[in-house]
Amino acid sequence: MQRIGVFVCWCGSNIAATVDVAAVSDTLKNEPGVVFSTNYQYMCSESGQNILKDAIRDYQLTGVVICSCSPRMHEATFRKAAAAAGLNPYMVEIANIREQCSWIHKDKAAGTEKAIILGRAAIAKVHLNAPLTAGESPVTKRALVIGGGIAGIQTALDIAEAGFEVDIVEKQPTIGGKMTQLDKTFPTLDCAACILTPKMVDCAQNENISIYAYSEVEEVKGFVGNFHVKIRKKARYVDTTKCTGCGLCTEKCPVKKVSNEFNLGLDNRRAVYIPFAQAVPKVATIDADHCNMLKSGKCGLCAKVCTAGAIDYKQKDEIIDREYGAIVVATGYQPIALDKYDEFAYSQSKDVVTSLEFERLTNAAGPTGGTLLRPSDGTHPHTLVFVQCVGSRCEDDGRGKSYCSKICCMYTAKHAMLVREKYPDTEVYVFYIDVRTPGKNFDEFYRRAVEEYGVHYIKGMVGKVAPRADGKLMVQACDLLANEQLHIEADMVILAAAIEPDPSARHLATMLTASMDTNDFFTEAHPKLRPVESPTAGIFLSGVCQGPKDIPETVSQASAAAAKAIGLLAKNKLTCNPCVAHSDEWMCNGCSACEKVCPYGAITYMDKEFRMPDRTTAIRRVASVNPAVCQGCGACTVACPSGAMDLDGFSNSQIMAEVDAICKMK
C-alpha cells in the first residue's frame, strides 16, 4: 500500500474562486492510502515546495498527488521538489484542477465535485505508480539551421562561435534571405547590404559552419540529441568547387528573358545566373527550366566560355545524410499574394507595387540603379500613395490574414522619409488605420517622417485605385478625421502587403513533428517563458517562422535560439523520457505485431533461453524495446494481443484505475 500525500493548490484565487479547496483536501484525506492532505495558496512557490518536501520526509510518503495547474505547466517543478526530498520523481501525479476545472466552470459546487473526482483519479493512478529511472542518450554535437536568412545566419554564427559545428540549409542559391533585397533598415537607416553581407562572409569563412545552399531538407528522423537528416542538394549544373564566380557565363547565356526573382520580376536575368554580386556562395546556378542545353541539348555556350571548366550538365541532385543534436528552424516569410485585391489594381497596373518591390526600385543594386522611376514608363513619379494593412488585420475572408504584420508601419515610414529626402518635389501620402511603432526609437522615427519630412499621414483606408488612360492612378480614400472623401491623382501606389510564413514551413513542421498555429507560424513551447523553443524537444525557432518580427527582434531571437541550442549541445548525455514501453517476456509470444506499429523502430526480436516450469530450457522469440529509441507513444501496447507490452508511467492498469475512479461517482 502506498502512503500518499495530497496537496491542493489555491493558485491565489485562480482555483480557490470556483473550487472549494478545503473541501477537496478534506474529502481526499479519506481516500484509501492517503496519509496526509493539505491545501496551500501557491504550491509552486518556494514555501509551497517546502511543504511538499517536509511532508514527504515527515510522513514517509511513497506517492504524491498535486491538485493544481496543468502538468504541462508545473509537473517538472514538483517532480524536482519530490526528488530533492528523496522521493522518486515519477511517483508524483498532477490532477489538473485549474485549466481543466476551475477556469472553465463558474459553479463552485460543480467545480468542487469535479476537482474531487480528478483528485481521486490521480490517487488511483499513484497507487499503481512504480519508481522509474530515466536512461541517458548521447548528444551529437552538431546543429542544423534550416533557412539562411538573417535569422539563420545569426543563429549559425552564434553556435559556431561557441565551438560547435553548424550546417545551414538554404533553398535559394545564396544565403542572405529577404534582408538582401532591402535597401535601408529602420530606425537608423543603415544600408541592409552593408550590415548583412559581412555576416554572410563570416558564415562562409567560419570553419565550424558548412553552407548547403540550393538545398532542402528531405527527411528528418530521430529525436533530441540524435536527429538523422537527409538533405537534398539540388543540381546547380555547376561544380561549386571549380566555379570562381567570375560571371562570364551569365553574360554569354543567350536566354535573356527569365524573370529575375531576386528583383521580384521587375527585370530579367539569364538562364545561368548569380542572384546578386555579394552572393554566398558566389557560384553560378543554371536554371534547368529555362536552359536550352538542359531542355533540348542545343547550346552549351556557358561550358565553352567557362575557363574553370565548372559547368556540368550531367550533375544530379545529391542526397547528404547528416546527424545533428539540435535543429533550428529559421524559414522566414514571404509577402502574401495580392491577386485577390482587385480594388488596389495590383494586377492591372505596373505602378501599383508591393513594399518589397519598392525596396528593389529604390535599391542602388536594384533594376533602376537606385533612381526611383515608375515601372510602367520610367518617368519620375511626383505623387506617391502608401497603403498600410493590405491583407493584415483582416477577418478570415480568404484574402488576408487576421494578425498584424508588425513591420509595415515602420518600413512605410522609412520609405516615405527616404523618398521625401531624395526627391523633395514629391508629395507622399500614407493611409493608415493605426500607426503601431513600439520599439526603441521607433515612434521618434515615425514622428520625424511627419514633422521633419512632411509626409502626409492620413487616418483612413484607401477604398479604390483606378488606373486612368493617361497613366495616372486615381486613388479614392477616406480621411476619417476630416470626415471627407479624398480623390488623389497618384503616380505610384505602394501596398504594404501582409507577410505570411514561407509555404515550405508546413511540410517541414510535419517532418519535424513540430506544432504550428492556424496561420502556419511555428508554435513556441510557452508563449512567454519559452519563446524560442518548439514543444518538440531539440527543435528551436528563430525569426519570422514563429511570428512576424522586424530585424532587431529577429536577430535577438536568433541569438536566443542559438543559446538554447548551445545549451543542448554542451551536454554530453541527455536524460531520456523514462515513460517507455517494456515487454513482459513471459507473456510475449513473439508475434511481431508491436514491431510493425512502432514508428521509431525501437522494437527488435531476440531468441532468448527460458527455464520453463517443467525445468526444461526452451528458446523463445520475444520482443525487446530499446529505451533510448522508444518515445513512449504506446501504439505497441494496444497492438499487443497478449498484453505483454505495457507503457511505464501510463500502464494499462493505471489508466484503467483512472477510468474506474472517474466513472465511480454516484
Partner 1 sequence: MSKEFDREQILRTSGVNPRKCMRCGKCSATCPSYDEMEYHPHQFVYMVEKGQLDELMASKSIYKCLSCFACVERCPRGVEPARLVEAVRLQVVRQQGNNHLKANDIPALLDDDLPQQAIVTALRKYSK
Partner 2 sequence: MQNEMTTFKPKIVAFCCNWCSYAGADLAGTNRLTYPADVKIIRVPCSCRVNPMFILRAFQRGADGVIICGCHPGDCHYTTGNYYARRRMTLLFSMLDFLGIEKERTRVEWVSAAEGAKFAATMNDFVATVTKLGENKRLEDLRCKK
Q: Which of 433, 563, 628, 633 binds partner 1 (CB under 8 A)?
A: 433
Residue 525 host element (H or E): none
Parallel, antiparallel or unpaired: strands 617-625 and 484-490: unpaired
Q: Which does 478 bind (CB under 5 to 8 A by kind): partner 1, partner 2, none?
A: partner 1
CA distance 41 to 47: 10
Residue 545 host element (H or E): none
- Retrieve residue 654's grid coordinates: 493505471
Report the C-alpha dihedral over residues 34, 40, 46, 47, rounded to 10 degrees.
-90
Mention every residue, 6+ apart, whose C-beta is less than 8 A from residue 509: 515, 516, 520, 522
Among 14-22, 121-129, 457-465, 500-508, which window interacts with partner 1 (CB under 8 A)? 457-465
Quote the least distance from Cβ 443 to partner 1, whole Å: 20
Comparison of 416 and 630: residue with beta carbon closer to partner 2:
630
Q: Which does 536 bind (CB under 5 to 8 A by kind): partner 2, partner 1, none?
A: partner 2
CA distance 173 to 83: 51
- Retrieve residue 443's grid coordinates: 515612434
Q: Which does 665 bind (CB under 5 to 8 A by kind): partner 2, partner 1, none?
A: partner 2
Instruction: Say whether residue 397 binds partner 1 (CB under 8 A).
Output: yes
Residue the block writes with cell 506544432: 515
Beta bridge partners of 84: none
Burial (CB count <10 Å: 0-12, 13-18, 19+), residue 665: exposed
Dump the DSSP string for 51-83. HHHHHHHHTT-SEEEEEES-HHHHHHHHHHHHH
Amino acid (1-letter code) at residue 161: E
Q: Which does 433 bind (CB under 5 to 8 A by kind): partner 1, partner 2, none?
A: partner 1
Beta bridge partners of 38: 7
- Retrieve residue 429's grid coordinates: 501620402
Q: Which does 655 bind (CB under 5 to 8 A by kind): partner 1, partner 2, none?
A: partner 2
Report the C-alpha dihedral over residues 647, 650, 656, 662, rounded to 10 degrees.
-170
Quote the least distance from Cβ 56 to partner 2, whole Å: 23
Instruction: Say whether residue 460 binds partner 1 (CB under 8 A).
Output: yes
- Retrieve residue 574's grid coordinates: 541527455
Q: Among 662, 541, 595, which residue's Cα sits nearest to residue 122?
A: 662
Angle at 352 between CA 347 and CA 357, to 5 degrees: 100
Comparison of 219 and 489: residue with beta carbon closer to partner 2:
219
Angle at 82 between CA 78 and CA 88, to 5 degrees: 120
Quote the least distance from Cβ 14 to partner 2, whole Å: 10
Quote the least distance from Cβ 643 to partner 1, whole Å: 54
Quote the least distance from Cβ 394 to partner 1, whole Å: 4
- Annotate each residue in 104-143 with x if it binds partner 1 (CB under 8 A) or - if it does not, as one string: ----------------------------------------
Comparison of 367 and 460: residue with beta carbon closer to partner 1:
460
Distance set, CA 320 to CA 230, 232, 442, 531, 625 (Å): 6, 6, 44, 31, 29
Comparison of 87 and 490: residue with beta carbon closer to partner 1:
490
Q: Which of 73, 195, 478, 655 binds partner 1 (CB under 8 A)?
A: 478
Q: Which of 30, 205, 296, 483 binds partner 1 (CB under 8 A)?
A: 483
Comparison of 105 and 415: residue with beta carbon closer to partner 2:
105
Query: Would you tell me which residues interact with partner 2 (CB under 8 A)?
Result: 70-72, 96, 98-101, 103-107, 110-111, 113-114, 117-118, 121, 510, 513, 515-518, 523, 535-536, 579, 597, 599, 631-635, 637-639, 647, 650, 652, 655-656, 658-660, 662-666
Q: Which does 523 bind (CB under 5 to 8 A by kind): partner 2, partner 1, none?
A: partner 2
CA distance 394 to 400: 6
Among 237-245, 324-332, 480-488, 639-647, which window interacts with partner 1 (CB under 8 A)? 480-488
Judged by CB under 8 A, the chain residues 316 through 355 that form the site for partner 1 are 343
Comparison of 201 and 482: residue with beta carbon closer to partner 1:
482
Instruction: Say whether residue 13 binds partner 1 (CB under 8 A).
Output: no
Q: Would you tell me which residues interact with partner 1 (CB under 8 A)?
A: 343, 389, 393-395, 397, 400, 433, 459-464, 476-478, 480, 483, 485
